[in-house]
Amino acid sequence: MPRYMSLIRIDEKNSPEGGPSNELMERMGVLLEEMTKAGVMLDTGGLRPTGEGSRVRWEGGKISVTDGPFTETKEVIGGYALLQCKDRAEAVEWVTRFLKVHEDYWTVTCEIREIEAG
């Protein structure tokens, strides 16, 4: 069965102060438990703010390291989910359910990419 990576993109500048609400985390927990029992969820996690990260770039034969935050970036990857689904349509269905547990004031985008077999 194919595996899919869902990259969860957020705008750190417009995310609610204090992070997700307790209610959101409860709804998320219920959904993640359902996905795990269904054999769809292989792994998931949130990422720390970009201010605590670094970017390492290879260009022109040289390495450069830039410490966050990355102010030039509007959307950043705030988390990920590794899913195993029968096809992309099923992955889209699960990711849609994930997005719908968020309150209306959130702006979240999930990019779904199939993992290359091999």
- Full pLDDT tens readout for the chain, 118 residues: 999 999 999 988 788 887 889 999 999 999 999 999 999 999 999 999 889 999 999 999 999 999 998 877 788 899 999 999 999 999 999 999 999 999 998 999 999 999 998 7
Residues paired with residue 57 on neighbouring β-strands, in sequence order:
64
Q: What is the pLDDT of residue 70?
A: 80
Q: What is the pLDDT of residue 40?
A: 97
C-beta atoms surrounding 14 within 10 Å? 11
Q: What is the pLDDT of residue 75?
A: 85
Q: What is the pLDDT of residue 117?
A: 84
Print the domain residue range for 72: 3-114
**Among residues 6, 12, 8, which one has the least CA distance to residue 74?**
12
Residue 68, burial from CB neighbour count under 10 angstroms (0-12, 13-18, 19+): middle
The H or E element containing residue 43 is: strand 41-46
9: domain CATH number is 3.30.70.1060
Q: How many domains does the chain have?
A: 1
The number of angstroms, rounded, from the C-alpha of 92 to the middle of its chain's C-alpha atoms is 13
